[in-house]
Chain A
Amino acid sequence: VQAHKEGSLRKQREMNGHTAVPHSYDYDLIVIGGGSGGLAAAKEAAKYEKKVMVLDFVTPTPLGNSWGLGGTCVNVGCIPKKLMHQAALLGQALQDSRKFGWQFPEEVKHNWMTMTESVQNYIGSLNWGYRVALREKKVTYENAYGEFVGPHTVKATNKRGVEKLYTAERFLIATGERPRYLGIPGDKEYCISSDDLFSLPYCPGKTLVVGASYVALECAGFLAGIGLDVTIMVRSILLRGFDQDIANKIGEYMEEHGINFIREFVPIKVEQIKEGTPGILKVTSKSTKGNEIIEGEYNTVLLAIGRDACTRKIGLDKVGVIINEKTGKIPVNDKEQTNVPYIYAIGDILQDKLELTPVAIQAGRLLVRRLYAGATTKCDYVNVPTTVFTPLEYGACGYSEEAAVEKFGEENIEVYHSHFWPLEWTVPSRDNNKCYAKIICNIQDSERVIGFHVLGPNAGEVTQGFAAAMKCGITKEQLDSTIGIHPVCAEV
């Protein structure tokens, strides 16, 4: 019946000479993009017995790298990042452990291949797990590139170039983003991005990280943590959009711990001096403030200068979905609906929304419940906690100090802050004035806590609870009257 329906629809289109709008669709919902948002939405829709299809396809990186089902977070984002960050933390812990009495030979080395194989193996099990989950929930999955070709119709092209057409009542775009390149000679041929780093089949060696995003800082952080010589090239400021006071403290900490920073320069050319795994690359850079040119040699150049939404080549023009031409992001209303009523979008591609996995998942699930289960709850994008896993971790929820001043006025906010020295750091004589916490309160609203920032170990774990408190509207007074747990960092 299915094949017949598809066949007759296609024939109808051919006969009419244009794409007619089908009235009985192949699917209730087609999700383009099998990442955090897409999969969460698809699985939720299947719960309500809807006929769902997921189209996921990874366009290989310039160096030919690709990965399985699950999207950025699982394959080339949060998961491998946190695991490698952990590898670096363990290296530090090994050093600290001597002061706590552990005895082992002088030099302890790190093996990149061992770490990468373990990480990739775990990711592989996640890819497989998603395949099994989709099958069990009767969600149709195709490893094919989806693009709109007409109203209610997408074309799915698999890696062998075979094309199929599918129709659906509704569509969800969850195509995410991919790393941006510099657009300079040698960038695509010789540089790697985060899409390549976590499965690199050889140790990157002496690395230049270009960028000052959290991706750049986190990667530079763990690469240095496993013993590599790392330099970060920053065009202007660190962690744009984050609290700058904290961003600077993070930068200082990284610098004091052996990471070189080259500030106010941008690469203009990358050349290969020697082939190899890794080889040797020569990077020529120009100052942003004058005409100074510098050169440097590195085994690996990692670009982390930003990510671009995958919205330009999925046929959105054929169905009239408006995107922000400059950024590629899709504006949606508070129900995640695009300007085309039957097409929705979630995740990193949304304009003016936080680019985080849990946000995409939540938005996807709530959207599906509104569509098929009569729910009305919308996704709450306010007070979403996040954590940056730099060597000194940073957890935040709510306003940065700059944003709070801008919104409420300096005289209406009060900032309470404190340095702290984690007990675990005392014995191994680690820094005693680096960990830091601050809360920003709105004086006009009973000193409600509108911004929470903590810089220190396990920042993510610490922040989660405070985020829940902020959602309940916790005030400074309530915070003061909450007795602390001792001895933990969070008691500050």
Chain B
Amino acid sequence: MGWEEKQVRGYPEFVQTAQHYHGRPIFALFCGDKDAEGKSWCPDCVTAEPVVRKELHNMPDESVFIYCLVGDRAYWKDPNNEFRKNLKLTGVPTLLKYGTPQKLVEEECFKVELVRMLFTED
């Protein structure tokens, strides 16, 4: 079947989507919001996104890739935002395998080898 992508914005939409696909492998990339020209306020996210996208074909069959915009910079900096509180995210970009402790944070997301390992690790 291959894999499919879902694009969401904000925490409630993310949770709803993740729950909808319960039972399938779910990978999520969290990035800062993009402006009208499609550029994110988070420079590391700009670097990471193409690297991650190039490796998506390595995800197992039936996987769901959730591309999630977390919010604007002010929201993200708030130490009590829902992503920090509930998903324990510490930085953007974060690439994780939902429901497992497996994740890559910030510069780790630039590294092809690590991204590939996350997608293919048993």
Set B101, B102, B114, B122: member contacting A136, Cβ < 8 A: B114
B104 contact set on A, CB distance < 8 A: 132
Contact bitstring A287-300, B, C-beta under 8 A = 1, else 0: 00000000000000
How far is it, in angstroms, between the C-alpha of A127 and the C-alpha of B117 when the chains are bound? 13
Which residues of B95-116 are within 8 A (CB) of A? Answer: 100-104, 108, 111, 113-114
CA of A131 to CA of B116 in the docked complex: distance in angstroms? 12
Question: Is the pair A135, B114 in contact by a Cβ cutoff of 8 Å?
Answer: yes
A125 within 8 A of B: yes
Q: How far is the CA of A128 from the CA of B102 in the complex (A)?
A: 6
> Is the CB of A121 closer than 8 A to any CB of chain B?
yes
User: Is A124 on the interface with B (CB-CB < 8 A)?
Assistant: yes
Which residue of B is nearest A159, CB measured? B122
- The answer to whether A124 and B117 touch across the interface, beta carbons within 8 angstroms, is no
Contact indicator B108/A132 (Cβ below 8 Å) = yes
Contact B114 A124 (CB under 8 A): no
With a cutoff of 8 Å between Cβ atoms, the chain A residues found around residue B101 in the complex are 121-122, 124-125, 127-128
Give the interface size class of chain A. Answer: 10 to 19
Q: B51 → chain A, closest Cβ, in Å?
A: 15
User: Interface 1/0s, chain A 114-125, versus B by CB < 8 A?
Assistant: 000000011011
Provide the bound-state CA to CA distance between A132 and B121, in Å: 11
Chain B residues closer than 8 Å to A132, beta-carbon distance: 104, 108, 114, 117
A135 near B113 (CB under 8 angstroms)?
Answer: yes
In the bound assembly, the distance between CA atoms of A320 and B54 in angstroms comes to: 48
Distance to closest chain A CB from B1 (angstroms):
23
Residues in A with CB closer than 8 Å to B100 are 124, 128
For A121, give the chain B residue with the smallest CB separation. B101
Which B residues touch A121, using CB under 8 A? 101
Report B-chain residues with C-beta under 8 Å of the C-beta of A122: 101
A301 to B103 alpha-carbon distance, docked (Å) = 37
Chain A residues within 8 Å of B111, by CB: 135-136
> Chain A residue with minimal CB distance to B122?
A143
**B102 touching A124 by the CB < 8 A rule?**
yes
> How far is the CB of B119 from the nearest CB of chain A, in Å?
13
CA of A122 to CA of B101, assembled, Å: 8
CA A143 to CA B114, docked complex, whole Å: 16
Q: Which residues of A contact B122 (CB under 8 A)?
A: 143
Residue on A nearest B116 in the bound complex, by CB: A135
Question: A131 to B103, alpha carbons, bound, how many Å?
Answer: 11
- B117 surroundings in chain A (CB, below 8 A): 131-132, 135
Give the interface centre of B102, B108, B114 by most chain A CB atoms within 10 Å: B102
- Chain A, residue nearest B105 (CB): A132
Report the bound CA distance from A127 to B103 in whole Å: 12
A128–B100 Cα distance when bound, in Å, is 10
- Would you give the shortest CB distance from B10 to chain A, in whole angstroms? 25
Min CB distance, B103 to chain A, in Å?
A: 8
Interface residues of A in 141-173 (CB under 8 A from B): 143
Q: Which residue of B lies closest to A124 (CB)?
A: B101
**Interface 1/0s, chain B 10-50, versus A by CB < 8 A?**
00000000000000000000000000000000000000000
Closest B residue to A143 by beta carbon equals B122
Query: Which residue of the partner chain B has the closest CB to A120?
Result: B101
A131 to chain B: which residues have CB within 8 Å? 117, 121
Interchain CA distance A397-B35 in the complex, whole Å: 62
Min C-beta distance of B90 to chain A, whole Å? 12
How far is B108's CA from A128's CA once the two chains are assembled, in angstroms? 13
* Alpha-carbon distance between A33 and B111 when the two chains are bound, in angstroms: 26
Task: Provide the residues of chain A in CB contact with B103, threshold 8 Å.
Answer: 128
| Cα of A131 to Cα of B111 in the assembled complex, Å | 14
The CA of A121 and the CA of B102, in the complex, are separated in Å by 10
B115 → chain A closest CB, angstroms: 10
Q: In the complex, A135 Cα to B122 Cα: how many Å?
A: 15
Q: Which residue of chain B has the shortest Cβ distance to A141 in the bound complex?
A: B117
What are the residues of chain B within 8 A of A136 when measuring CB–CB?
111, 114
Known A-B contacts: A124-B102, A135-B113, A136-B114. Give 19 more (CB < 8 A).
A121-B101, A122-B101, A124-B101, A125-B101, A127-B101, A128-B100, A128-B101, A128-B102, A131-B117, A131-B121, A132-B104, A132-B108, A132-B114, A132-B117, A135-B111, A135-B114, A135-B117, A136-B111, A143-B122
In order of increasing CB-CB distance, the 5 nearest A-B pairs are A125-B101, A124-B101, A128-B102, A135-B113, A128-B101
Residues of B participating in the A interface, judged by any CB pair closer than 8 Å: 100-104, 108, 111, 113-114, 117, 121-122
- Please name 24 pairs of A and B residues whose Cβ atoms are closer than 8 Å in the assembled complex, sorted by A: A121-B101, A122-B101, A124-B100, A124-B101, A124-B102, A125-B101, A127-B101, A128-B100, A128-B101, A128-B102, A128-B103, A131-B117, A131-B121, A132-B104, A132-B108, A132-B114, A132-B117, A135-B111, A135-B113, A135-B114, A135-B117, A136-B111, A136-B114, A143-B122
